[in-house]
Amino acid sequence: MHIHILGICGTFMGGIALLARAAGHRVTGCDANVYPPMSTQLGEQGIDLVAGYGTEQLTLNPDLFVVGNAISRGNPLLESILERNLPYVSGPQWLAENILRGRWVLGVAGTHGKTTTTSLLAWILEEAGLNPSFLVGGVPQGFGVSARLTDSPFFVIEADEYDTAFCDKRSKFVHYQPRTTILNNLEFDHADIFSDLAAIETQFHHLVRTLPSNGLIVANAQEASLKRVLARGCWTPVEWFNGAEGWQAAEPDATGGFEVSLAGKPQGRVDRFDLAGAHNRDNALAALVAARHAGVPVAVGLQALASFSGIKRRLEVRGTVRGVTVIDDFAHHPTAIRVTLAGLRQRVGQARILAVLEPRSNTMKLGAMKAQLPDSLAEADATYCYASNLGWDATAVLAPLGNRAKSFDDLDRLILAVAADAREGDQVLIMSNGGFGGVHDKLLAALAL
């Protein structure tokens, strides 16, 4: 079958493309914005890309159009597909019907940490010899790809609460029907489609209603929102982590290693752990418990965690010039910004951290979380905010940070300012959920002058 994917360069739809190609389908696709790492992955797999959404793509005559949730009514290619009554389907529905059916699905849901936790879980199953298939919203370093299809019964998937497609406003994760489910955390996000936290909790309960009684929910005991979701009705056993009566991770040692306990009883130790921050120990704990449900002994899971090498765009070092280290991270929600900075601080000690932020997500552009930004950036010694195309005044919002924060409408000026301020030993943390205009390489080049 020939499948043509609209919005193919997003992390999810790009993963769909890789899985469809591995399943033997001919795959082509189109997107308005093409940038690594997804464009690189697709090219390496021989998947042809078309720039834009021109109606001439109808001449490709695919058997099916798979439509990503970034595609809205008014898109010229989508309008032509609808006018001609051509066959189309959303990405999550195609995945559920063609790849996930009949498999043991392990889904990772939550506002934060989905990509890291999904990657950790896939890695534990891999190290246990279970050869899992997976679809991750990033590129785990140990695998080198964001999606993989194997003959294993196990499929690990990042279960996103964002809506499915223009034609299906349910959260993507309701399509997946996982047997093992991690509920990592739940905060307000996606202000462009959800009116408040209660609306997101409702979608999470839609997910809970699809879970089987022989499955398992692995839930964060610190999240009152998740407890409210489960109180609406739950038909699946629950194991809690990050709470006194459940699974806990102790404070780390100098190598990041930590003890794991269940209801206060020791269960073993991770000898070393390369991901910084308490949030990443929680992510590891959730993955460990979920893998245990799939049959992986705790001791094997602990050993696998020690060999996990990280994920692209999660505190990923992009280079060091004149003693200044440039780091890339996907953080964009205030909570993610705060815990990412805390994790980096744990790693670098007293070194200066220069935070470079692009508030790019729809939630951030709308300003729904702007009041939380100063507190989330408090750990940074200096902040440089790219304020182009925002619906709010970044300078005024960041005023509580005083002279530690600067805003720029021009990316080149921002880069020059960071390069001028940076000195040997500094850590420049760049945070965005997009390509950020290639700022990483541009800054490294500016530092070299």
Length of the chain: 449
Q: Among 285, 306, 327, give the residue marking a domain's end.
A: 306
Contact 37, 59 (CB under 8 A): no
Burial of 416 (0-12, 13-18, 19+ CB in 10 A): middle
CA distance 320 to 444: 7
* Structure-token pair, residue 3: 């499948």
Residues 224 and 302 in one domain: yes
* The token pair that represents 421 in the structure block: 């301020």
Residues 62 and 162 in one domain: no
Q: Is residue 363 part of a domain?
A: yes
Number of domains in the chain: 3
- Residue 225 in any domain: the answer is yes
The pLDDT profile of the chain, 449 residues, written as one tens digit per residue, is 999 999 999 889 999 999 999 999 999 999 997 666 677 778 888 899 998 999 999 999 999 999 999 999 999 999 999 999 999 999 999 999 999 999 999 999 998 889 999 999 999 999 999 999 999 987 887 888 889 999 999 999 999 988 999 999 999 999 999 999 999 989 877 777 777 889 999 999 999 999 999 999 999 999 999 999 999 999 999 999 998 889 999 999 888 899 999 999 999 999 989 887 888 999 999 999 999 999 999 999 999 999 987 777 778 899 999 999 999 988 878 888 988 898 899 889 999 999 999 988 777 777 777 888 999 999 999 999 998 888 888 899 999 999 999 999 999 999 999 999 999 999 999 999 888 888 999 999 999 98
Burial of 58 (0-12, 13-18, 19+ CB in 10 A): middle
How far from chain centre, in Å, is Cα 13? 13
- Specify whether 323 is located in the same domain as 405: yes
Strand partners, 135: 147, 157
For 346, the domain range is: 316-448
* CA 62 to mean position of chain CA atoms: 30
Say yes or no: 283 and 398 in one domain: no
In CATH, what number is assigned to the domain containing residue 259? 3.40.1190.10
> Same domain for 192 and 241?
yes
Same domain, 70 and 30: yes
**Are 106 and 219 in the same domain?**
yes
Which of 91, 122, 156 is the C-terminal boundary of a domain? 91
Does the residue 96 lie in any domain? no
What residues contact 174, with CB distance under 8 A and at least 6 apart?
164, 203, 206, 207, 210
11: domain CATH number is 3.40.50.720
d(CA 6, CA 75): 10
**C-alpha distance across the termini of the chain, in Å:** 52
Do 74 and 16 share a structural domain? yes
Domain presence at residue 97? no
Last residue of a domain, one of 281, 306, 331: 306
- Cβ within 8 Å of residue 88, ≥6 positions away: 64, 65, 66, 67, 81
Q: How many CB atoms lie within 10 A of CB 350?
A: 8
Would 66 be classed as within a structural domain?
A: yes
List beta partners, residue 357: 385, 431
Same domain (yes/no): 70, 111:
no
Residue 311 lies in a domain: no
- Tell me if 203 is assigned to some domain: yes
Q: How many helices (H) and strands (E) does the chain have?
A: 15, 23
Which residue's structure tokens are 């790492």? 37
66 and 140 housed in the same domain: no
> Is residue 374 a part of any domain in this protein?
yes
What is the domain-level CATH number for residue 443? Answer: 3.90.190.20
> In sequence order, which ranges of 257-333 are alpha helices (DSSP H)?
278-293, 298-306
Domain match, 111 and 237 both: yes
On whether both 209 and 107 belong to a single domain, the answer is yes
Helical (H) or strand (E) element with 174? none
